[in-house]
């Protein structure tokens, strides 16, 4: 039900760009923190990946602890970090990296504000984490896309709460080292899906839209250059650090930070509801499935339900393209760009990422069996509509309201 | 078991020394320019009498403190220990200050990148930034000053040579 009231929470202060790390001591001071504790992987610490952070703290007069994780995240790990945290009198948490490191850091902030038992209770009984220690996140390119989201995952259990979003995010090019193409592409696809799925319903939250537009544009522009093979650099470029893909890296990591706050909105969308239902029967993550479903859902919303998606072109295309495209053609142009981007990523990851639900390892019979469950969870969508667009996403074809593919799979391939 | 260690943040000895010397020189140059340059004089005339402002770096300096006395004269108070500061311009960290004063980053760029914060009146802070820009143009050769200010001013030949000489002479001698 539309109450006419829109809300959107963006709890993080993001500092991105040149010497962003140097702002951390000052910004942490704003939370009254003078003794932060850094959580990272032991490998990152061993390989000297924390040197830019240590340099940034030089001259600040602060003392900080560093905990290098070398095991899978668990409640025992959180308890161990908390013991160091508590014994050392630390008062803030800085997570360096992504994925499980951030999950442990988030759980540590909950334990630090209460106790590990409070965290255990929250994890076992569910509930909302509403009291945490000051928390900063320094991204590397080891991203999953969930880092800035108001949730944490520990041992398969999910913790929710706006307080779990980082208070500060410092995106600094010195911390962004390259990683495997697939992981980065997955994170990018998830971010693109959670940004663009806001357009699928006519009543887009206008407060979330600027963030969605920013995140989508940064991912559209930044992901492919990051995944493509690096150019050979000359001797001078290597010496002076020129010719590196610094801007794209910073823009991409910033998009991931912005994207975290869109996850709450995205979770209500049909794209993510369907992805949630399909994730257990697929070999892909929920985020990748959402990206596979996204074009079909958007095409159905536009072509069958008549939703106006012309505004989406401003999120996925540049200003020149927006100006050059008549309003009536903008939705189709945007949809084509989204398809093209997902197909381009398939090529860049050497066919590791799926473009259709069939490629995601879902059987047609299983898919049809899940239609009832999916339509039951999708508010405002009829069963036949869900079935149509799931079949379209399965075949990689345009959604057809008569529940048939407009092109055969062979023709589509 | 993970690995835990505690790190004490180091010191930036060279940068601190460099900034201390630069602030000392710029502080004296501001006083000199307030006597020799009409624009700087006009900016100081617009500031309230008795205003004490400081430009420094977190967390513990160095900084320079300058006061406009009741009679309109401008005084450089060094580190200004114990002085009540009316307008405090603080750079958030030593590295940013070093980048500004080694002309790797211009003052407007540093402002835009949120390196500076102001405790006091914004109009007065803007006046101080304008004064700093003029002083930098006086003290630095053109090719360096162009890096430090947003737009290099088109001054007359007299101002570029005679007034600049006066500023330098007064800065060094303290007259």
Which residues of A are less than 8 Å from B96 in CB distance?
19, 22
Gap between the Cα atoms of A75 and A367, Å rounded:
36
Any residues with CB less than 8 A from the CB of B48 and at least 6 apart, and which? B68, B124
**Residue among A54, A59, A71 minimizing CB distance to B7:** A54
Distance from CA of B116 to the nearest CA of A (A): 11
Residues of A in contact with B10 (CB under 8 A): 54, 58-59
Cα-flanking dihedrals φ and ψ of residue A166, to 5°? Answer: -65, 140
Q: Residue B165's pLDDT is what? A: 85
Contacts of B167 (CB under 8 A, 6+ apart): B29, B32, B33, B36, B37, B135, B138, B139
- pLDDT score at A185: 82
| Residues A58, B94: C-beta atoms closer than 8 Å | yes
Tell whether the model's pLDDT for residue B58 goes beyond 90: no
> Domain map of chain A by residue range?
13-175, 181-229+243-412
For residue A283, whether the previous peptide bond is cis, meaning omega lies within 30 degrees of 0, is no
Angle of helix A270-278 relative to helix A364-377, nearest 10 degrees, comes to: 130
Q: Supply the pLDDT for residue A410.
A: 45
Instruction: Give φ, ψ of A41 to 5 degrees.
Output: -85, 150
Residue in A60, A67, A81 nearest the CB of B59: A60
Domains detected in chain B: 13-173 (3.30.1050.10)
Residue with tokens 């997570």: A95
Partners of B4 on chain A (C-beta within 8 Å) are 65-68, 84
pLDDT given at position A407: 42
Q: What is the pLDDT of residue B172?
A: 83
Write down the pLDDT at residue A239: 60
Q: Do residues B11 and A74 lie in contact, with contact meaning Cβ atoms separated by under 8 Å? A: no
Query: Is residue B174 scored above 80 in pLDDT?
Result: no
3-class DSSP assignment, residue B9: coil
**Is A19 within 8 Å of B99 when comparing Cβ atoms?**
yes
| Partner-chain contact B93 A66, CB within 8 Å | no
Beta-carbon separation of B16 and A59 below 8 A: yes
pLDDT for position A138: 92
The answer to whether B9 contacts A61, with C-beta atoms less than 8 Å apart, is: yes
pTM of the full structure? 0.81
Answer whether B12 touches A (CB < 8 Å): yes
What does the pLDDT average to over B156-163? 83
What whole-number distance in Å separates Cα of residue A398 and Cα of residue A404? 9
- CB of A340 less than 8 A from some CB of B: no
Question: What spatial distance separates the first Cα and last Cα of chain A, rounded to whole Å?
Answer: 40
Chain B residues within an 8 Å CB radius of A65: 4-7
Residue written as token pair 């450089």: B76
List CB contacts (< 8 A) between A63 and chain B.
6-9
Please tell me the number of Cα atoms within 13 Å of B132 on its side-chain side.
23
Q: Which residue of B has its CA nearest to A60?
A: B59
Q: What is the mean pLDDT of each run of 10 residues along chain A (413 residues)?
A: 75 85 87 88 84 86 86 83 87 88 88 78 76 87 83 82 88 75 79 87 79 88 74 60 66 87 83 87 86 89 85 87 90 89 82 84 84 79 83 81 48 42
Residue-wise pLDDT for B116-145, tens only, equals: 888 988 898 889 988 988 888 888 888 888
Q: Which of residues 4-43 of A touch B (CB under 8 A)?
A: 15, 17-19, 22-23, 25-26, 42
List C-alpha distances in Å: A165 to A89, A110, B18, B99. Answer: 23, 11, 40, 32
CATH number 3.20.20.140 given to A181-229+243-412? no
Residue B61 has pLDDT above 80, yes or no: no
Distance, CA of A50 to CA of A36 (rounded, Å): 14
**ipTM score of the complex?**
0.77
Q: A224 near A344, Cβ under 8 Å?
A: yes
Q: Is B146 on the interface with A (CB under 8 A)?
A: no
Q: How far, in Å, are A193, A197, A292, B146 from residue A272 at the CA level?
A: 8, 8, 11, 52
Burial, B134: exposed, middle or buried (Cβ in 10 Å; 0-12, 13-18, 19+)?
A: buried
What CATH class has A13-175? Answer: alpha beta
Mutate to test the interface with A, among B1, B9, B14, B58 (most CBs of A within 10 A): B9
User: What is residue A308's DSSP assignment?
Assistant: -
Sign for the pseudo-dihedral over CA of B116, B118, B122, B127: negative
């Amino acid at each position: 039900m539309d109450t006419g009231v829109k809300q959107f929470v963006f709890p993080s202060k993001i500092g991105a760009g040149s010497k962003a790390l140097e702002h951390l001591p000052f910004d942490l001071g704003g939370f009254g923190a003078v003794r932060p504790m850094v959580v990272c992987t032991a490998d990152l610490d061993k390989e000297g990946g924390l040197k830019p952070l240590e340099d940034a703290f030089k001259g600040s007069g602060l003392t900080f602890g560093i905990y290098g994780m070398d095991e899978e995240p668990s409640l025992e790990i959180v308890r161990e970090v908390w013991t160091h945290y508590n014994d050392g009198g630390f008062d803030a948490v800085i997570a360096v990296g992504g994925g499980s490191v951030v999950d442990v850091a988030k759980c540590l902030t909950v334990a630090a504000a209460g106790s590990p038992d409070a965290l255990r209770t929250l994890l076992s009984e569910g509930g909302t984490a509403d009291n945490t220690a000051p928390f900063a996140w320094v991204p590397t390119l080891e991203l999953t896309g969930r880092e800035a989201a108001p949730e944490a995952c520990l041992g398969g259990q999910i913790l929710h709460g706006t307080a779990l979003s980082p208070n500060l995010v410092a995106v600094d090019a010195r911390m962004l080292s390259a990683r495997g193409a697939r992981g980065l592409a997955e994170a990018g696809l998830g971010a693109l899906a959670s940004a663009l799925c806001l357009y699928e319903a006519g009543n887009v939250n206008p407060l979330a839209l600027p963030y969605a537009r920013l995140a989508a544009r940064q991912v559209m522009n930044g992901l492919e250059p990051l995944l493509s093979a690096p150019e050979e650099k000359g001797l001078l470029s290597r010496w002076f650090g020129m010719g590196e893909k610094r801007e794209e890296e910073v823009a991409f990591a910033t998009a991931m930070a912005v994207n975290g706050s869109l996850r709450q909105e995205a979770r209500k969308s049909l794209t993510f509801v369907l992805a949630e239902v399909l994730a257990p029967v697929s070999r892909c993550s929920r985020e990748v499935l959402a990206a596979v479903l996204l074009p079909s859902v958007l095409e159905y919303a536009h072509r069958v339900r008549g939703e106006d998606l012309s505004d989406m072109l401003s999120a996925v295309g540049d200003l020149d393209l927006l100006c050059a495209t008549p309003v009536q053609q903008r939705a189709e142009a945007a949809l084509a760009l989204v398809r093209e981007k997902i197909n381009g990523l398939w090529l860049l990851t050497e066919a590791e990422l799926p473009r259709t639900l069939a490629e995601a390892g879902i059987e047609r019979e299983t898919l049809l069996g899940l239609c009832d469950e999916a339509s039951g969870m999708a508010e405002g969508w009829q069963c036949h509509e869900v079935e149509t667009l799931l079949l379209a996403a399965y075949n990689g074809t345009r959604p057809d309201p008569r529940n048939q593919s407009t092109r055969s799979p062979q023709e589509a391939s | 078991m993970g690995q835990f260690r505690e790190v004490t943040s180091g010191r930036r000895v060279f940068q601190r020394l460099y900034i201390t010397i630069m602030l000392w020189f710029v502080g004296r140059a501001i006083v000199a320019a307030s006597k020799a340059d009409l624009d700087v004089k006009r900016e100081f005339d617009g500031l309230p009498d008795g205003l004490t402002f400081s430009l420094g770096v977190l967390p513990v300096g160095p900084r320079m403190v300058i006061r406009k006395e009741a009679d309109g004269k401008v005084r450089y108070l060094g580190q200004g220990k114990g002085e009540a500061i009316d307008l405090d311009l603080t750079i958030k960290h030593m590295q940013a200050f070093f980048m500004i004063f080694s002309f790797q980053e211009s003052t407007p760029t540093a402002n835009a990148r949120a390196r500076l914060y102001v405790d006091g009146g914004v109009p007065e802070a803007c006046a101080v930034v304008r004064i700093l820009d003029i002083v930098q143009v006086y003290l630095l050769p053109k090719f360096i000053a162009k890096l430090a200010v947003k737009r290099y001013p088109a001054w007359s030949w007299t101002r570029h040579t005679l007034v600049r000489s006066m500023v330098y002479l007064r800065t060094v001698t303290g007259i």
